[in-house]
């Protein structure tokens, strides 16, 4: 199989990360979590006193943090200025601030360039997951998938993931998800959007194994 590029986009809680990692592992491909990169730059802003809702200040600082993404699907890593940031980027504070930071064009152009370089250097091909991969980052991807699921399914999956970390109830999770998706879909620069040539997969009634099987088949057909 030649170096195949797979773009997997969709809102939060659709199973993007689990699916993307499992597909990459099953097919011997690299893996890139672009949400982790936006979370990493957001964590840097918060840690360095840059207010996430001050677009000018965020734009001015956008080039400063050094972000390194590991692309092994079995053990993805993210480091900021040489420090492992895998834990802190999942905090409530980062999750609440990431949509404001990721809407800033200077942040997007910097992270997009990083993503394209990583995809170009992936030896055997890569699965890249995010919001704008099929539309903006890798418009020539060999396969574009857009994952969806009902708001209830997404909120209950997210609550399951957060169990033991945050006492978040289902309705609060649902509200937060809807708010973040609205911000991600409504921003001016590369909003969350299905590419015209993406295959839409509704995961509401599917198990992770079924979604993975479906995507693996699509990758085999596209390669």
- For ligand C5P, the binding residues (CB under 6 A) are 12, 34-35, 38-39, 98-99, 102, 130-133, 180, 184
Nearer to ligand C5P, 7 or 27 (CB): 7
Minimum Å distance from CB 99 to ligand C5P? 4
Q: What is the DSSP letter of 179?
A: H
Confirm whether residue 100 is marked as ligand binding.
no
Confirm whether residue 15 is marked as ligand binding.
yes
Nearer to ligand C5P, 1 or 113 (CB): 113
Minimum Å distance from CB 9 to ligand C5P? 7
Nearer to ligand C5P, 34 or 203 (CB): 34
Alpha-carbon distance 173 to 48, whole Å? 27
Alpha-carbon distance 160 to 14, whole Å? 13
Minimum Å distance from CB 94 to ligand C5P? 9
Place of tokens 């009902």: 150
148-151's contacts with Cβ under 8 Å and 24+ in sequence apart are: 148/10, 148/11, 148/14, 148/200, 148/201, 148/202, 148/203, 148/204, 149/13, 149/14, 149/15, 149/202, 149/203, 149/204, 150/204, 151/177, 151/178
**Which among 29, 207, 11, 48 is positioned nearest to 126, based on CA atoms?**
29
Confirm whether residue 10 is marked as ligand binding.
yes
Nearer to ligand C5P, 21 or 131 (CB): 131
Confirm whether residue 18 is marked as ligand binding.
yes
Nearer to ligand C5P, 28 or 51 (CB): 51
Minimum Å distance from CB 64 to ligand C5P? 18
Nearer to ligand C5P, 1 or 63 (CB): 63
- Residues with Cβ within 8 Å of residue 83, at least 6 apart in sequence: none
Minimum Å distance from CB 220 to ligand C5P? 25
82-88's contacts with Cβ under 8 Å and 24+ in sequence apart are: 85/39, 85/40, 85/43, 86/36, 88/43
Alpha-carbon distance 39 to 202, whole Å? 26
Minimum Å distance from CB 38 to ligand C5P? 4
Confirm whether residue 105 is marked as ligand binding.
no
Binding residues for ATP, as ranges, are 10-18
| Binding-site positions | 10-18
């Amino acid at each position: 199989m030649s170096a195949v590029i797979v773009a997997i986009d969709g809102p939060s809680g659709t199973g993007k990360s689990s699916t993307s990692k499992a597909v990459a592992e099953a097919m011997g491909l690299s893996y890139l979590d672009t949400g982790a990169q936006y979370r990493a730059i957001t964590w840097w802003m918060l840690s360095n006193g840059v207010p996430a809702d001050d677009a000018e200040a965020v734009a001015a600082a956008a080039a400063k943090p050094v972000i390194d993404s590991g692309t092994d699907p079995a053990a993805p890593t993210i480091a900021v200025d040489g420090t492992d940031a895998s834990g802190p980027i999942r905090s409530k504070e980062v999750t609440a601030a990431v949509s404001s930071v990721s809407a800033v064009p200077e942040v997007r152009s910097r992270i997009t360039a990083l993503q394209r370089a990583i995809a170009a250097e992936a030896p055997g091909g890569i699965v890249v997951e995010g919001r704008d991969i099929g539309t903006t980052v890798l418009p020539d991807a060999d396969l574009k998938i857009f994952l969806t699921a009902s708001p209830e399914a997404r909120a209950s999956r997210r609550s399951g993931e957060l169990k033991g970390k945050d006492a978040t109830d289902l309705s609060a999770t649902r509200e937060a998800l809807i708010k973040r998706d609205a911000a991600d879909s409504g921003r001016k620069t590369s909003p969350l959007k299905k590419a015209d040539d993406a295959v839409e997969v509704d995961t509401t009634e599917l198990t992770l194994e079924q979604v993975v099987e479906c995507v693996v088949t699509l990758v085999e057909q596209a390669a």
